[in-house]
C-alpha cells in the first residue's frame, strides 16, 4: 500500500516506485551543460518565488521576512547582494579598528563574518565566488580572533591524509576545564557560534571547540566530502588531539550538536565513549526522508554539495546510510534532546520512537507549536548565535560535568507556553498536547 507521496519530488514511498517531477517553470540554470544534476534542480523557480515574496531561503516556517536584503529578487542574487552588504560592514570595522575602537571593531568584524557566511552558504558549487566569500569570512574571523577578549585558536587536525579544522575558544583561568565540542548544522560553519562577547560556555567556565567537519566550511573548500560515517571519524580525531591539551579536562568532554549537527552529534556520542555528556537540540537524527522530500527542496542541492554527489542516485546512496537506527541505544552518556512539536523535518512520533530506544539517562524537551529552530522562551531569534537554546544547553552540560544526575531521566518535558521552563518545579510531563 502506498503510505506517503514525496511532496515535490523524486520518490514514492511504500511500494518502491520512483518518479521524476517536472516543474512547469524550469530554471535557466537547469538547462546548462555539465555534470548530471539533481531532479530538483528544475524546482529552483520555487526558491526564486520564496526569496521574492518572503526573503527566505530554506527555512520557511518562521514568521517575518528573513535577513536577505530587499534588493534580492531571485535566489542567484543572494550571494552578491549579501556579499556587498558584508563588504560595507567590513569597511566599517576596518575604520573603527584604525580609530582604536577595538570593541566596536570586534562587533562589526563578527557581523561581517556572519554576513559573508550567509552569502556563501547559498553557493552550492566550489567556484570562484564561493572561494571569495568564504575567504572573506575567514579574513574577518581572523580579525575577530585578534580583537577577542579571550584567546581563540585556529586548530588544524591531521586526519585521513588531510586536515580538518576548528576554532578553540579558551576559557580564561588556570587548570583543566571542561570542553564543549560544538557541531554546527549542515549549512553552518564553525564561525557561526559562539559570539566572543556572548559566549555562554565561557561564562560557565567551559572551553568551546567549534568544528568544520567533512563537507562544512574549510573542509568543503579542501574537497573533503561528507560520507555516511566520516563525520564522527573526523570528530573523534579532533577530540583525540584536544584531550592532550593541558587546558582540557579529558574526562569532561561534552558534545553540543545543533540542528542537522544533532545527527552527527548523536553518532559521535554513540561511537566515542570519551564523551561525558551530549546535547542535541533541534532534532535532525530521524529518517532523512522528511528533510529531503517534505522540507524545502533546497536541502537536496545543499547535501549534493556537502557530499559532492553529481546525481540523484549518488546522493540517495549516501543519504540512505545516514541513520541512527541501532545507535541510539549505544549512547552511554547523559543526553539532552529538544524538538519542536511541528518540526517538518523531524515528526514528533519519530523523535519519540528514537528517544524511547535510549538506555542512557536522557530527557527530551518538547516545544509546543514550534517548528525546527525551537526556542525555550518561544521568541524567534534572527540568527544562530542569538538562539536562547545556547544558555539552557550550557547550563545543562555544566551540571553534568559537576556530576549532577539528569533531573528527569526517561521523561518528555512539555514546555507549556504558560509554564516556567524545563527547570521549573512544576514541569509538565506529557508527550502530546492531548495527554
Whether the Cβ atoms of residue 15 and residue 37 lie closer than 8 Å to each other? no
Check whether residue 107 and residue 209 sit in a common domain: no
Residue 381 is predicted with a pLDDT of: 65
Residue 386 is predicted with a pLDDT of: 79
> Among residues 147, 178, 200, which one ends one of the domains?
147
Nearest to 284 by CA among 276, 294, 271, 274: 294
Instruction: Kindly report the CATH number assigned to the domain that includes residue 99.
Output: 1.20.58
412's grid cell: 518528555
pLDDT per residue over 115-168, tens digit each?
Answer: 999 999 889 888 999 999 999 999 999 999 999 999 999 999 999 999 999 999
Check whether residue 125 and residue 193 sit in a common domain: no
Whether the Cβ atoms of residue 212 and residue 137 lie closer than 8 Å to each other? no
Q: Which range of residues forms the domain containing residue 375?
A: 151-287+323-435
Residue 41 is predicted with a pLDDT of: 60
Check whether residue 331 and residue 394 sit in a common domain: yes
Check whether residue 168 and residue 107 sit in a common domain: no
Q: Answer whether residue 373 is part of any domain.
A: yes
Residues 99, 104, 110, 112: what is their CA dihedral angle, to the nearest 10 degrees?
A: -60
- CA dihedral (170, 172, 178, 180) positive or negative: negative
Q: Answer whether residue 50 is part of any domain.
A: no
Check whether residue 381 and residue 280 sit in a common domain: yes
Residue 121 is predicted with a pLDDT of: 87
Those residues with Cβ within 8 angstroms of residue 395's Cβ, 6 or more apart along the chain or in another chain: 204, 423
Residue 49 is predicted with a pLDDT of: 74
Check whether residue 142 and residue 207 sit in a common domain: no
Alpha-carbon gap, residue 332 to 231, rounded angstroms: 19
Q: Answer whether residue 41 is part of any domain.
A: no
Residue 59 is predicted with a pLDDT of: 65
Residue 295 is predicted with a pLDDT of: 80
Alpha-carbon gap, residue 41 to 26, rounded angstroms: 8
Residue 75 is predicted with a pLDDT of: 85
Q: Answer whether residue 51 is part of any domain.
A: no
pLDDT per residue over 258-289, tens digit each?
Answer: 999 999 999 999 999 999 999 999 999 999 99
Asked if the peptide bond before residue 129 counts as cis, ω within 30 degrees of 0, the response is no
381 phi and psi angles, rounded to 5 deg: -115, 155
Whether the Cβ atoms of residue 19 and residue 5 lie closer than 8 Å to each other? no
Check whether residue 109 and residue 168 sit in a common domain: no
Check whether residue 173 and residue 131 sit in a common domain: no
Alpha-carbon gap, residue 126 to 114, rounded angstroms: 19
> Among residues 106, 127, 147, which one ends one of the domains?
147
Q: Answer whether residue 59 is part of any domain.
A: no
Residues 370, 376, 381, 386: what is their CA dihedral angle, to the nearest 10 degrees?
A: -150
> Among residues 128, 147, 166, which one ends one of the domains?
147
Those residues with Cβ within 8 angstroms of residue 420's Cβ, 6 or more apart along the chain or in another chain: 426
Q: Answer whether residue 67 is part of any domain.
A: no
Check whether residue 97 and residue 221 sit in a common domain: no
Q: Answer whether residue 55 is part of any domain.
A: no
Low-confidence ranges of the chain (pLDDT < 50): 1-36
Instruction: Kindly report the CATH number assigned to the domain that includes residue 263.
Output: 3.40.50.1820
Check whether residue 117 and residue 242 sit in a common domain: no
Q: Answer whether residue 30 is part of any domain.
A: no
Check whether residue 161 and residue 227 sit in a common domain: yes
Check whether residue 335 and residue 267 sit in a common domain: yes
> How many structural domains does the chain have?
2
- CA dihedral (274, 279, 285, 286) positive or negative: positive
Amino acid at each position: 500500500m502506498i503510505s506517503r507521496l514525496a511532496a515535490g519530488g523524486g520518490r514514492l514511498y511504500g511500494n518502491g516506485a520512483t518518479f521524476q517531477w517536472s516543474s512547469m517553470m524550469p530554471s535557466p540554470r537547469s538547462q546548462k551543460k555539465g555534470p548530471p544534476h539533481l531532479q530538483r534542480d528544475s524546482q529552483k523557480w520555487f526558491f526564486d518565488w520564496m526569496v521574492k515574496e518572503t526573503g527566505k531561503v530554506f527555512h520557511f516556517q518562521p514568521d517575518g521576512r528573513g535577513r536577505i536584503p530587499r534588493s534580492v529578487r531571485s535566489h542567484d542574487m543572494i550571494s552578491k547582494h549579501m556579499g556587498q552588504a558584508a563588504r560595507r560592514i567590513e569597511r566599517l570595522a576596518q575604520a573603527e579598528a584604525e580609530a582604536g575602537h577595538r570593541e566596536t571593531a570586534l562587533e562589526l568584524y563578527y557581523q561581517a563574518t556572519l554576513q559573508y557566511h550567509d552569502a556563501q552558504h547559498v553557493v552550492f558549487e566550489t567556484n570562484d565566488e564561493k572561494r571569495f566569500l568564504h575567504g572573506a569570512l575567514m579574513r574577518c574571523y581572523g580579525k575577530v580572533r585578534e580583537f577577542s577578549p579571550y584567546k581563540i585558536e585556529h586548530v588544524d587536525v591531521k586526519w585521513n591524509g588531510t586536515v580538518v579544522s576548528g576554532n578553540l575558544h579558551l576559557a580564561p583561568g588556570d587548570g583543566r576545564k571542561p570542553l564543549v565540542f560544538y557541531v554546527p548544522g549542515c549549512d553552518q560553519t564553525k564561525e557561526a557560534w559562539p559570539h566572543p562577547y556572548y559566549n555562554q560556555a565561557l561564562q560557565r567556565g567551559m572551553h568551546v571547540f567549534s568544528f568544520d567537519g567533512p563537507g562544512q566550511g574549510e573542509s568543503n573548500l579542501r574537497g573533503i566530502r561528507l560520507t555516511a560515517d566520516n563525520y564522527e571519524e573526523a570528530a573523534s580525531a579532533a577530540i583525540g588531539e584536544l584531550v592532550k591539551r593541558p587546558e582540557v579536562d579529558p574526562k569532561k568532554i561534552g558534545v553540543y550538536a545543533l540542528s542537522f549537527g544533532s545527527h552527527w552529534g548523536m553518532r559521535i556520542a554513540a561511537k566515542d565513549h570519551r564523551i561525558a555528556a551530549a546535547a542535541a537540540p533541534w532534532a535532525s537524527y530521524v529518517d532523512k526522508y522528511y528533510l529531503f522530500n517534505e522540507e524545502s527542496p533546497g536541502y537536496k542541492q545543499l547535501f549534493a554539495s556537502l557530499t559532492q554527489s553529481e546525481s540523484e542516485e549518488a546522493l540517495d546512496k549516501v543519504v540512505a546510510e545516514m541513520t541512527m537506527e541501532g545507535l541510539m541505544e549505544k549512547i552511554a552518556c547523559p543526553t539532552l534532546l529538544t524538538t519542536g512539536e511541528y518540526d517538518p523535518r523531524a515528526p514528533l512520533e519519530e523523535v519519540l520512537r528514537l528517544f524511547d530506544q535510549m538506555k542512557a539517562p536522557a530527557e527530551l524537551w518538547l516545544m509546543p507549536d514550534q517548528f525546527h529552530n525551537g526556542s525555550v522562551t518561544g521568541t524567534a531569534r534572527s540568527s544562530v548565535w542569538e538562539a536562547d537554546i545556547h544558555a539552557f544547553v550550557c547550563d545543562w552540560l555544566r551540571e553534568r560535568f559537576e556530576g549532577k544526575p539528569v533531573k528527569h531521566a526517561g521523561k518528555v518535558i512539555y514546555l507549556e507556553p504558560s509554564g516556567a521552563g524545563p527547570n521549573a518545579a512544576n514541569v509538565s510531563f506529557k508527550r502530546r498536547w492531548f495527554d
